[in-house]
Structure 1
Amino acid sequence: MEKFIVRLAQKTLARHRPHWIAVAGDAESVIIRDAVFFALKEVVGGRVVRSGEYGKEPLEDLAGWVLDGKKNIVVQGIKSLVGSRDFTKCFVVEYPAHAPGKMKPFLDFHPHSIGILGTVSDTNQEFFASIEEEAKEKSGIFAVSGANPLVIFNADNLNVAAAAKGVSSPSVSFGFSSSATIRASDLSVWEDRQAEETDGRLLGMSFKLNYQGNSIPVFLPGAVGADHARGFMAGILAGLHLGGNLLKMVESFVGYHPTPGKLCLIRGIKKTMIIDDTRDANPYSMKVALDTLASIALEKPREKFAVLGSISHLGRYTEDEHRAIGAKVFETNPDYLVAVGEKARDIVRGAREAGMLEERCFYFPTPEEAGRFIQNRLEKGDLLMVSGGAETRMEKIVRELMAEPLGAPAVLVRQ
């Protein structure tokens, strides 16, 4: 039955020929997926959808999603194939590329006309022998085809930029680099200093979008960090390629909803703020989150908490990578480190070895214990950044500390 559903989905796509946009990268690829989806909603004349989470049989999940079949999937698929109902005009699909061979079934499933690659870093060391091998795997996304193909890549990542040099298809790039086709600059965090009762509540981020001699101010509500700016630019490039108007697309992002668990701003108890990065961190993304926390200036006595959970799939590098994160904590200088999960003991060790004071480092086996501890230490105006691998369930800490926990299902992961 599974093979039949896959084949039915392929025939349906071949008949209707929707836009098929493939996205790959590191932990930030889901941000790119969601930003592209958001940008194209105002561009494509019809329904735009994005891929969800994959289970144990990702290709079958993808085929079922294409056929929109939560129930009676075969009937739904046949209706789509014969054209008895409106079919989706654009699919934005995140391709799994965390281990060798994972992307190939997706590449073979249906040709994509736009391929977007975000970041390649050495964070899947349990599965790839080298970063070059990982770059080769992920650059499969550059195999675009069709009448109007385009490659979109992250100019800030040296591994990605190097892989893109050999691409024969038309290509454009995004990033903060001067070499990028579309470039962001002057990134800053917006803080509400007018209303005293919010005590400096963070509202979102702003930056300048530089494209073809124009400089356009951009505001992304509820988000912080360079990855959101890069996702936005990837979405804009995809939209421009499909005929979108630059200014209209920029204006539409006033209603942007950042990907849950990916550097999102959430109001906390005691008039604090939380940067939620709990979706599924790896060493690279956790260091990015620490840099993001460090980039936000706080006036004393407000304090910063780096709340970090264990990360899996690091193989023999597990201890070294967690210690390196600890060293990064010391470098970025939050007021407190709270580590969660057995492997995170090495985050504390790394921070202490780098020079962080013992009285500013804390360890807890579970997120529940860490949440209760932090709740008792928080003061008005403090800022927390919470990050960790999916298996550590760090979103439980965010739920414990958020000002409106009843709203958790709408803004947190795994609810």
Structure 2
Amino acid sequence: MIAFTAAEIAEITHGRLDADAGITPASVVTDSREATAGSLYVAKRGEHADGHDFVAAAFDNGATLVLAERAVAGPDGVNFPAVLVQDAVLAMGKLAAEAVRRIRAARLAEGDALTVIGITGSAGKTTTKDLLAGILARHGSTVAPQGSYNGEVGVPLTVFRAGTDTRYLVIEMGATGIGHIRYLADMVTPDIGVVLCVGTAHAGEFGGVENIARAKGELLEALPDTGTAIINLDDDRVAAMRARTRATVVGFTADGHREAAVLAARPDTNALGNPEFDLILPGGEPDLHVSSRLIGSHHTGNLLAAAAAAFAAGIPGPEIAASLSSQTAASRWRMERTERPDGVTIINDAYNANPESMRAALRTLADLGRGRRTWAVLGAMLELGPDSIREHTAVGTQVVRLNISRLVVVGREARALYVSAVQEGSWGDECVFAETPDEAYELLSAELEPGDLVLFKSSNSVGLRHLGDRIALPPAPVPATEGRELP
């Protein structure tokens, strides 16, 4: 982390110093439980809790300074050392922006550079971020988000993990409205921007898909003339963004788009569902083959995006291909495969869900499940606005047309999915509705058999990822009877 004194923090954030000016935090946290010796605790107001209520706990764990919106007194009646600001989250952003500026200046003074890569899209951000970070880490100190830190809090927390030795800073950017990505881009000033796709996730919040496209394109608008814009030419809305940037545009395609500079030639998937293709990069470097260890053909686009960004950052083609071929999923609950000892295979892809990723996961289930009994355990796709019933209905229809053996729909918010599957011809025990994950757990525990392949997919807050974890555990052994007859 870049070292800031309390006095500097107050100046950068336009806050009021209520602490020893020389206090210099060693880390930044927004969760009091994560505070350690020397932490700066940011007391932000959340949807369900107010961080100011946990200031004392943060100091008990070792925090030495709080960035807060009001003073908080300890048990002795004395205020905890603080920098007081109007908005703690915006103050975090200002501090992160200054950290990036200082890292750039320090590296430039040493004749080197910091390369910042921003990644956005309605799906695939975290996988692409993980792949890209895996490539870059072999060439220099690389900082990338933990999990899916991609918003106005997560991006600063990622920045605060970087220091003057950081060569590559990979930033995942999410948004729920117009202007959000512009705010994040202004904070980190990316050199390379990657736009993966424009889907219907959060369509309700944005007010339509076109507004989602407008928001994602803000990343490309923020790039400098010397930057590089990586765009998915297989998505028409993303392809149209080339007119919104001054940067050099590099397009990628998994579908043979003629204008692409980075493409997958002869794409295929192996028996395990892993994408394979010949990687074509600008300059036509020959004999680059990628045999990925990720699951699902839909990851081909993510692999190409990571390859294009790494190439733009100066990484040689053979090293890009070798790294992409060696990496497994780095973040949890994203097509995460578990083989149970009894022969049941679990694919847990329930970190998030939208219509595009739901369709891709179901196609992968169908492809992998030939000759096996397949289960789709599905929950709601949230934040779709007025399109929610239509999109859930379409997924239910798709499950039946893909000949998925069994469908378990969990939760009332996904009931339209269940109804559409029944109407499409999935009857009897082929399609079951469960009110709760616990109810689904009892059903699956009783009916799964060796050889079954089970997919879990839902939006994050539905919680099916935890159900998938429970089912992935091997079943408890049957207690020995010691020769006694069972009733």
Do these two structures clear the TM 0.5 threshold for a shared fold by scoring above it?
Answer: yes
The 1:186/1:305 distance shift into structure 2, 3 A limit, reads: farther
Q: In 1, are the aligned partners of 2:200 and 2:354 still within 8 Å (CA)?
A: no
Q: Residue 142 of structure 1: CA displacement?
A: 0.8
Q: Could you tell me how far apart the structure 2 residues matched to 1:374 and 1:165 are? A: 50
- Map of 2:152 onto structure 1: 59
Segments of structure 2 that go 5 or more residues without pairing to the other structure are 1-66, 68-87, 105-113, 476-487
The 1:303/1:334 distance shift into structure 2, 3 A limit, reads: same
Is 1:292 equivalent to 2:292 in the alignment? no
Is 1:90 equivalent to 2:90 in the alignment? no
- Map of 1:19 onto structure 2: 115
Q: Residue 125 of structure 1: CA displacement?
A: 2.3
Amino acid at match of 1:267: E
1:9 maps to which of 96, 99, 106: 96
- Map of 2:219 onto structure 1: 141
Q: In 1, are the aligned partners of 2:198 and 2:237 still within 8 Å (CA)?
A: yes
Q: Residue 115 of structure 1: CA displacement?
A: 0.4
**Residues 126-152 of structure 1, C-alpha deviation per residue, up to 9 Å, x if partnerless?**
112332221111111112434741000
SS of corresponding position for 1:59: coil
Q: Map residues 174-323 of structure 1 onto 2, 5 A cutoff.
A: 174-179=252-257, 180-191=260-271, 202=272, 204-211=274-281, 212=284, 214-221=286-293, 223-258=294-329, 259-299=331-371, 302-323=372-393
Q: In 2, are the aligned partners of 1:114 and 1:144 still within 8 Å (CA)?
A: no
The worse-fitting range, judged by mean Cα deviation, of 309-318 and 337-346 is 309-318
Amino acid at match of 1:380: P
Is 1:48 equivalent to 2:143 in the alignment? yes
Q: Map residues 355-374 of structure 1 onto 2, 5 A cutoff.
A: 355-374=425-444
Amino acid at match of 2:96: A
Amino acid at match of 2:183: P
Q: Could you tell me how far apart the structure 2 residues matched to 1:4 and 1:162 are? A: 35
The worse-fitting range, judged by mean Cα deviation, of 131-140 and 159-168 is 159-168
Q: Could you tell me how far apart the structure 2 residues matched to 1:40 and 1:213 are? A: 19
The 1:89/1:159 distance shift into structure 2, 3 A limit, reads: same
SS of corresponding position for 1:127: helix
Segments of structure 1 that go 5 or more residues without pairing to the other structure are 70-79, 81-85, 192-201, 406-415
2:447 maps to which of 365, 374, 377: 377
The worse-fitting range, judged by mean Cα deviation, of 280-289 and 11-20 is 11-20
- Map of 2:406 onto structure 1: 336
The 1:315/1:32 distance shift into structure 2, 3 A limit, reads: same
**Residues 336-382 of structure 1, C-alpha deviation per residue, up to 9 Å, x if partnerless?**
11111112221111112222234310111112221231232222222
Amino acid at match of 1:245: P
- Map of 1:121 onto structure 2: 199
SS of corresponding position for 1:346: helix
Q: Could you tell me how far apart the structure 1 residues matched to 2:153 and 2:384 are? A: 28
Q: Could you tell me how far apart the structure 1 residues matched to 2:273 and 2:237 are? A: 33
1:68 maps to which of 150, 161, 165: 161
Q: Could you tell me how far apart the structure 2 residues matched to 1:183 and 1:154 are? A: 10
- Map of 1:413 onto structure 2: none
**Residues 84-122 of structure 1, C-alpha deviation per residue, up to 9 Å, x if partnerless?**
xx4322111111123333223212213111000011022
Q: Could you tell me how far apart the structure 2 residues matched to 1:208 and 1:16 are? A: 37
Q: Could you tell me how far apart the structure 2 residues matched to 1:378 and 1:219 are? A: 31
SS of corresponding position for 1:126: helix
- Map of 1:104 onto structure 2: 182
Q: Residue 318 of structure 1: CA displacement?
A: 2.3
Q: In 1, are the aligned partners of 2:227 and 2:247 still within 8 Å (CA)?
A: yes
Q: Could you tell me how far apart the structure 2 residues matched to 1:367 and 1:281 are? A: 17
Identity of aligned residues (%): 25
Amino acid at match of 1:63: P
Greater RCO between the two (CA within 8 Å, min separation 6)? 1
Q: Residue 189 of structure 1: CA displacement?
A: 4.2
The 1:382/1:165 distance shift into structure 2, 3 A limit, reads: farther
Amino acid at match of 1:129: G
Q: Could you tell me how far apart the structure 1 residues matched to 2:451 and 2:278 are? A: 28
Q: Could you tell me how far apart the structure 1 residues matched to 2:179 and 2:267 are? A: 37
Q: In 2, are the aligned partners of 1:268 and 1:401 still within 8 Å (CA)?
A: no
The 1:351/1:60 distance shift into structure 2, 3 A limit, reads: closer
Q: Could you tell me how far apart the structure 2 residues matched to 1:315 and 1:187 are? A: 35
**Residues 12-37 of structure 1, C-alpha deviation per residue, up to 9 Å, x if partnerless?**
31132221111110132111111111
SS of corresponding position for 1:376: helix
Q: Could you tell me how far apart the structure 1 residues matched to 2:178 and 2:91 are? A: 26
Q: Could you tell me how far apart the structure 2 residues matched to 1:157 and 1:268 are? A: 37
**Residues 284-334 of structure 1, C-alpha deviation per residue, up to 9 Å, x if partnerless?**
2111111221222522xx211111111221223322221111111122220
Q: Residue 265 of structure 1: CA displacement?
A: 2.0
Q: Could you tell me how far apart the structure 2 residues matched to 1:291 and 1:185 are? A: 21
**Residues 168-226 of structure 1, C-alpha deviation per residue, up to 9 Å, x if partnerless?**
321112221222322224444444xxxxxxxxxx48443332342635332222x2123
- Map of 1:74 onto structure 2: none
Q: In 1, are the aligned partners of 2:158 and 2:171 still within 8 Å (CA)?
A: no
- Map of 1:76 onto structure 2: none
Amino acid at match of 1:333: N
Q: Residue 161 of structure 1: CA displacement?
A: 1.1
Q: Could you tell me how far apart the structure 2 residues matched to 1:176 and 1:8 are? A: 39
The 1:252/1:110 distance shift into structure 2, 3 A limit, reads: closer
Amino acid at match of 1:346: A
Q: Could you tell me how far apart the structure 2 residues matched to 1:187 and 1:307 are? A: 29
Q: In 2, are the aligned partners of 1:337 and 1:360 still within 8 Å (CA)?
A: yes
The 1:60/1:381 distance shift into structure 2, 3 A limit, reads: closer
Q: In 2, are the aligned partners of 1:268 and 1:403 still within 8 Å (CA)?
A: yes
Amino acid at match of 2:401: E
Amino acid at match of 2:237: N
- Map of 1:169 onto structure 2: 247
TM-score (norm 1): 0.82
Aligned positions, number: 374
Q: Could you tell me how far apart the structure 1 residues matched to 2:93 and 2:355 are? A: 35
